[in-house]
Amino acid sequence: MAPDLVRQVVPLFTTAKMGAVQIRKDIVNWADNFWTLGQKNEMALDSYFQQQRITLGGIGELRGNGQFVRRRALQQCGGWNEQTITDDLDLTIRLHLDHWDIGFLITPAVGEEGVTTMKALWHQRNRWAEGGYQRYLDYWRLIMSNQMGWQKTIDLFSFMVIQYLLPAAAIPDLIMALVLGKAPLLAPLSALTIALPLVGIFTGLRRIAAQDHQDHQDHQAPNLAGDTASIDFATALKQSLIGIIYLFHWIPIMASVTARMSIRPKRLKWVKTVHRGNL
């Protein structure tokens, strides 16, 4: 992390309702292979979505690495939940239900080692998907009672459809289309879920590059992303297309997780992500 990270984070907590702050995550080994480059682009997409959602009155989300939580907010909502495999996503919901906000800091970023194989990515994202689903199941009554307020409730519902329901429905929709010899029923929505991340990755990469460049000029801050600050239009577009191809892994993961959670009881199986530390 940058040596002045805490100095950059603390001012965000001057707002009384700020319960936590999430720092943008940056994949430091992004040049290793396709999977790590995909994760770099995915983090740019997450950065874009976080900023847009918060700006529109939606929810900011915690991401584990690089999160700061106000102690009083954590205590007030009951501390960490031992009955979840994604404590960051679970705490996100409980903080918002308790009327706290979660902020987002785009720079300086916190470095993270991305997984380097498809197998490791599969295990990691299955855990993310299951934990993300579980928070809706655990807190749906409180969410549906609009305890967060309409803007946050609508935001949360919209992302449930885009991130969980549509990817899970894509495979059976395609199978039925092939059997019946017709176009997939969800094709217009599926096209939207491709176009939106494409714009998000592109905008996120350009926005991060501009902010990194400005900070480097102002404070001589270290640039964890390597050459991100020099990214041009063509490179950003190329990386965005790679990012979209990479994100297709989410479809079989969501389909398998949805099927498993539909027929099996809740489980707390946490598969450790292997990190090599040789960066």
Distance separating alpha carbons of residues 148 and 144, to the nearest angstrom: 9
In a domain, 149, yes or no: yes
In a domain, 77, yes or no: yes
Closest CA to 256 of 120, 127, 101, 145: 127
DSSP-based three-state secondary structure for 24:
strand
In a domain, 278, yes or no: no
pLDDT at 218: 67
Distance separating alpha carbons of residues 67 and 104, to the nearest angstrom: 9
Mark the ranges of the chain whose per-residue pLDDT is less than 50. Answer: 225-228
In a domain, 67, yes or no: yes
In a domain, 220, yes or no: yes
In a domain, 210, yes or no: yes
Number of domains composing the chain: 1
**Cβ atoms within 10 Å of 139's Cβ, excluding its own:** 18
In a domain, 214, yes or no: yes
Token pair belonging to 125: 């994202």
pLDDT at 278: 62
pLDDT at 221: 52
Distance separating alpha carbons of residues 50 and 69, to the nearest angstrom: 17
**Cβ atoms within 10 Å of 106's Cβ, excluding its own:** 18
- Asked if 22 and 61 touch (Cβ cutoff 8 Å), the reply is yes
pLDDT at 227: 46
Quick one: which H or E segment has residue 220? none
Give the structural domain span for 227. 5-263
In a domain, 174, yes or no: yes
Distance separating alpha carbons of residues 22 and 69, to the nearest angstrom: 9
